[in-house]
Amino acid sequence: MTISKTEKQNLKKTETSKKVAPKKASTVKKGLTKKTITKKVVSKKTNPSPEALYKMTEVAAYFIALKNDFAGNPSDYWVKAEAEIKALYQ
């Protein structure tokens, strides 16, 4: 089977049209530079309300007791949870 000249030319045209053109490098205008802007992050610690502290302590005490299979004294869990919560907000 032979291919005619026009078929060869058509094949070449379709092959070249399928090629992806290379990406152009981005151009940077003279005198313009990228500046890195650093923002100062100021963290404001707000003290939670007494009700929120109580709820957080309650939940923390539960998880401490759960980790210990509820084998100890509930008061000990509560004291440990209070200490952890207080450490978070100091």
pLDDT in tens, 44-75: 668 899 999 999 999 999 999 999 999 999 99
For residue 15, being part of any structural domain is answered with: no
**Contact between residue 60 and residue 84 where contact means Cβ atoms under 8 Å apart:** yes
9 assigned to some structural domain: no
Asked if residue 12 belongs to a domain, the reply is no
Residue 89 included in any domain: yes
From 62, 57, 58, select the one nearest 87 (Cα to Cα). 57
Is there a domain that residue 19 lies in? no
Residue 74's domain comprises 47-90
Is residue 86's pLDDT more than 80? yes
Torsion of CA 78, 82, 85, 90, to 10 degrees: -170
Q: Is residue 75 part of a domain?
A: yes
User: What domain count does the chain have?
Assistant: 1
Residue 8 lies in a domain: no
The tokens for 72 are 């100890």
28 domain-assigned = no
